[in-house]
């Protein structure tokens, strides 16, 4: 099985993907990863979706709404960042913007004068540090190799820092089995109580929601696509009933059922 994830080698996405496939290729954006699976070039794609400090990875949410893929697993992994550089003196810190945000308080406190440089991934930031002694990178300490020093470990602003990744597969592999299910809903209408209407089919059937997120539809200001995760599988009658009701409520728009899946914790 081959898989596509965020590169270069050494990203947290790469680490999460190692629990999914042996044959791993890299892309430089999560949109390209989801596209790689939607077009059939890859069996699996692994994308970060949510971080416990910084919240949603909005590019991933939008890619899931725009492309036709299934979600077949979620991988949750602790994120422990290190500061890596050639020397103790540097002017710039390069990393993925999620990682920079997860270490914002640390950087403001310890290095108030350094410039932050958002790059495509943490591993790309570490590469910048390897090429340029005036740059430090934030990433997993295993990326240090022989030529970079780990100046400090565990620099994330909360020790419980964790990221949830979704494993995407071709739409034909959508499964009804699993303890969680994800949906994307575009109601294409707006009236008082719409969000309540969308959530009631789950509440009435005693289905717990684990997440609701809204993203702009891009059609007009104030118009939204909703991402809903529930703690129930599509194999359950109650979930089927809720989906049927959801489809009626969103009959002017669409409901995309991404599938049911289980969670794996990887350290």
Ligand X SMILES: O=C(O)C(=O)C[C@]1(C(=O)O)C=C[C@@H](O)C=C1
The site for ligand X (CB under 6 A) is made up of 6, 11-13, 48, 51, 57, 79, 96, 98-99, 121-123, 163
Task: Please say which residue, 121 or 260, places its beta carbon nearer to ligand X.
Answer: 121
Residue 138 CA neighbour count, 13 Å, CB half: 27
User: Could you give the CA distance from residue 249 to residue 242 in angstroms, rounded to a whole number?
Assistant: 11
Rounded to the nearest angstrom, the gap between the alpha carbon of residue 65 and the centroid of all alpha carbons in its chain is 13
Which residue, chain included where needed, has tokens 């717990």? 208
Instruction: Kindly state the smallest distance separating residue 31's Cβ from ligand X, in Å.
Output: 12
The strands making up 115-118's β-sheet, listed across from edge to edge, are 115-118, 92-95, 135-139, 82-85, 149-153
Instruction: Kindly state the smallest distance separating residue 73's Cβ from ligand X, in Å.
Output: 16
Task: Please say which residue, 17 or 175, places its beta carbon nearer to ligand X.
Answer: 17
Tell me how long the chain is. Answer: 267
Task: Please say which residue, 154 or 204, places its beta carbon nearer to ligand X.
Answer: 154
Contact 156, 79 (CB under 8 A): yes
Tokens standing for residue 67: 């492309």
Task: Please say which residue, 18 or 188, places its beta carbon nearer to ligand X.
Answer: 18
Task: Please say which residue, 199 or 266, places its beta carbon nearer to ligand X.
Answer: 266
Task: Please say which residue, 105 or 248, places its beta carbon nearer to ligand X.
Answer: 105
User: Could you give the CA distance from residue 45 to residue 8 in angstroms, rounded to a whole number?
Assistant: 15
Instruction: Kindly state the smallest distance separating residue 176's Cβ from ligand X, in Å.
Output: 29
Tokens standing for residue 79: 């994120």
Instruction: Kindly state the smallest distance separating residue 75's Cβ from ligand X, in Å.
Output: 11
Contact 15, 80 (CB under 8 A): no
Which of 144, 38, 128 is closest to 91 using CA atoms?
Answer: 128
Determine phi and psi for 73, rounding to 5 degrees: -170, 155
């Amino acid at each position: 099985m081959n898989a596509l994830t965020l590169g270069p080698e050494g990203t947290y996405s790469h680490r999460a993907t190692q629990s999914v496939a042996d044959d791993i290729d890299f892309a430089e954006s999560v949109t390209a990863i989801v596209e790689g699976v939607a077009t059939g070039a890859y069996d699996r794609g692994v994308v970060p979706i949510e971080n416990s400090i910084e919240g949603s990875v909005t590019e991933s949410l939008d890619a899931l709404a725009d492309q036709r893929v299934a979600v077949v697993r979620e991988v949750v992994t602790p994120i422990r960042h290190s500061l890596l550089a050639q020397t103790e003196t540097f002017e710039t810190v390069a990393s993925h913007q999620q990682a920079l945000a997860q270490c914002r308080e640390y950087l403001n406190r310890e290095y108030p004068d350094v410039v932050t440089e958002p790059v495509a991934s943490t591993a790309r930031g570490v590469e910048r540090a390897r090429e340029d002694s005036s740059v430090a990178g934030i990433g997993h300490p295993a990326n240090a190799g022989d030529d970079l020093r780990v100046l400090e470990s565990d620099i994330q602003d909360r020790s419980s820092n964790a990221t949830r990744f979704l494993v995407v597969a071709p739409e034909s592999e959508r499964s009804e089995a699993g303890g969680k299910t994800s949906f994307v809903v575009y109601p294409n209408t707006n009236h008082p109580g719409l969000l309540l209407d969308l959530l009631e089919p789950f509440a009435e059937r005693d289905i717990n929601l684990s997440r609701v997120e809204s993203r702009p539809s891009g059609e007009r200001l104030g118009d939204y696509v909703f991402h809903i995760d529930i703690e129930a599988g599509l194999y359950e009658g109650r979930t089927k009933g809720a989906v049927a009701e959801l489809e009626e409520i969103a009959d002017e728009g669409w409901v995309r059922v991404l599938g049911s899946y289980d969670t794996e914790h990887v350290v």
